[in-house]
């Protein structure tokens, strides 16, 4: 498997931790977890040539929940699937750069004390970093099993957060780094650099061979992951079907 295939497979496996209604369609799966949640999406092995055959069933699944069909794929997706999405009136909702690195060698030493965040603390305090409208998603996020939730306190207050989960695979395991944010008043102090290093250490301790993270192009987060030794392996693309 390529690095991007491993990352995509790990992401699809990690999604299984979210509660909600699941359905499997060939090489893809779809989740509906509740109204307006960004995890309501179909994903899986999007480089498979038969993936496009299941788009009508995926659309029916989401229509049953009065939700627009949504598809998460990566830049290695089969060209026929991409063409089918365009023909069926999907539009690109957003994209992220996918980065990965081997869990070996060196990474920065955290300059802040890293603490584990309890699920209840995660649900209560992370919306202060992720911003208005994130409360419901972060409550769901807090209940996902097999996730290490880490944070940094400044002056006794939670200032920044980051999560990591390790998914086994034939290559030794993939650590997904996600849900990273810093409260606005604490940004620019190196908190996310410290949390990146801490999550790489968790990945190492749990035996992962590869670490992966998605970031917004041109963001501070992208600069941070580059400094932490990550390399660009592809693009994550989220498509939503336009109602006609």
CA–CA gap between residue 133 and residue 239 (Å, rounded): 21
Q: Residues 77, 155: one domain? A: no
Average pLDDT over residues 45-66: 97
Q: DSSP per residue over 135-195, as a string?
A: HHHHHHHHT-SS-EEEEEEETTEEEEEEEEEEE--TTS-EEEEEEEEE-GGGTTSSHHHHH
CA–CA gap between residue 165 and residue 178 (Å, rounded): 8
Integer angstrom CA distances of residue 93 from 46, 238, 241: 17, 6, 9
CA–CA gap between residue 52 and residue 195 (Å, rounded): 38
Average pLDDT over residues 217-225: 94
Residue 110 is predicted with a pLDDT of 82
Whether the CB-CB separation of 7 and 74 falls below 8 Å is answered with: yes
CA–CA gap between residue 221 and residue 109 (Å, rounded): 17
Residue 98 is predicted with a pLDDT of 98
Residue 244 is predicted with a pLDDT of 67
Is 223 a residue whose pLDDT tops 90? Answer: yes
Q: Residues 117, 209: one domain? A: yes
Q: Residues 70, 126: one domain? A: no
Exposure class string for 76-111: b at 16+ Cβ within 10 A, else e: bbbeebbebbeebebeeeeebbbbbbebeeebbebe
Q: Residues 72, 116: one domain? A: no
Structurally, how many domains does the chain consist of? 2
CA–CA gap between residue 162 and residue 45 (Å, rounded): 26
pLDDT in tens, 75-108: 999 999 999 999 999 999 999 999 999 998 788 7
Q: Residues 119, 15: one domain? A: no
Residues pairing with 167 in the sheet? 174
Residue 16 is predicted with a pLDDT of 92
Average pLDDT over residues 215-229: 94
Q: Residues 131, 60: one domain? A: no
CA–CA gap between residue 71 and residue 92 (Å, rounded): 9
Residues pairing with 239 in the sheet? 71, 92
Residue 116 is predicted with a pLDDT of 97
Percent of the chain at pLDDT exceeding 70: 100
pLDDT in tens, 10-49: 999 999 999 999 999 999 999 999 999 999 999 999 999 9
User: Average pLDDT of the chain?
Assistant: 96
Q: Residues 82, 144: one domain? A: no
First to last CA, the chain: 38
Q: Residues 220, 117: one domain? A: yes
Q: Residues 224, 130: one domain? A: yes
pLDDT in tens, 121-176: 999 999 999 999 999 999 999 999 999 999 999 999 999 999 999 999 999 999 99
Residue 107 is predicted with a pLDDT of 81
Which range of residues forms the domain containing residue 146? Answer: 102-234
pLDDT in tens, 115-133: 999 999 999 999 999 999 9
How do strand 114-116 and strand 148-154 relate by DSSP bridges? antiparallel
Q: Residues 160, 211: one domain? A: yes
Q: Which sign does the torsion angle of CA 95, 101, 107, 112 carry? A: positive
Percent of the chain at pLDDT exceeding 90: 95
Model pTM score: 0.95
Q: Residues 152, 199: one domain? A: yes
Residue 178 is predicted with a pLDDT of 97
Q: Residues 215, 117: one domain? A: yes
């Amino acid at each position: 498997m390529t690095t991007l295939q491993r990352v995509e497979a790990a992401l699809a496996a990690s999604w299984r931790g979210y509660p909600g209604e699941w359905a499997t369609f060939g090489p893809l799966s779809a989740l509906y977890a509740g109204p307006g949640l960004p995890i309501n999406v179909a994903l899986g092995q999007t480089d498979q040539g038969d993936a496009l055959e299941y788009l009508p069933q995926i659309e029916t699944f989401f229509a049953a929940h009065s939700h627009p069909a949504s598809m998460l794929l990566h830049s290695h997706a089969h060209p026929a699937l991409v063409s089918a999405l365009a023909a069926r009136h999907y539009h690109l909702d957003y994209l992220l750069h996918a980065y990965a690195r081997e869990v070996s060698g060196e990474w920065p030493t955290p300059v802040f004390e890293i603490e584990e965040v309890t699920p209840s603390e995660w649900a209560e305090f992370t919306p202060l970093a992720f911003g208005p409208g994130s409360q419901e998603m972060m409550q769901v996020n807090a209940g996902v099993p097999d996730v290490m939730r880490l944070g940094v306190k400044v002056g006794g207050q939670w200032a920044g957060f980051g999560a990591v989960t390790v998914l086994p695979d034939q290559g030794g395991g993939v650590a997904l780094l996600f849900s990273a944010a810093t409260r606005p008043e604490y940004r620019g102090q190196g908190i996310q650099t410290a949390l990146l290093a801490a999550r790489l250490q968790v990945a190492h301790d749990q035996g992962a061979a590869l670490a992966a993270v998605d970031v917004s192009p041109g963001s501070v987060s992208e600069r941070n992951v580059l400094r932490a030794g990550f390399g660009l392996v592809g693009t994550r693309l989220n498509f939503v079907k336009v109602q006609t």
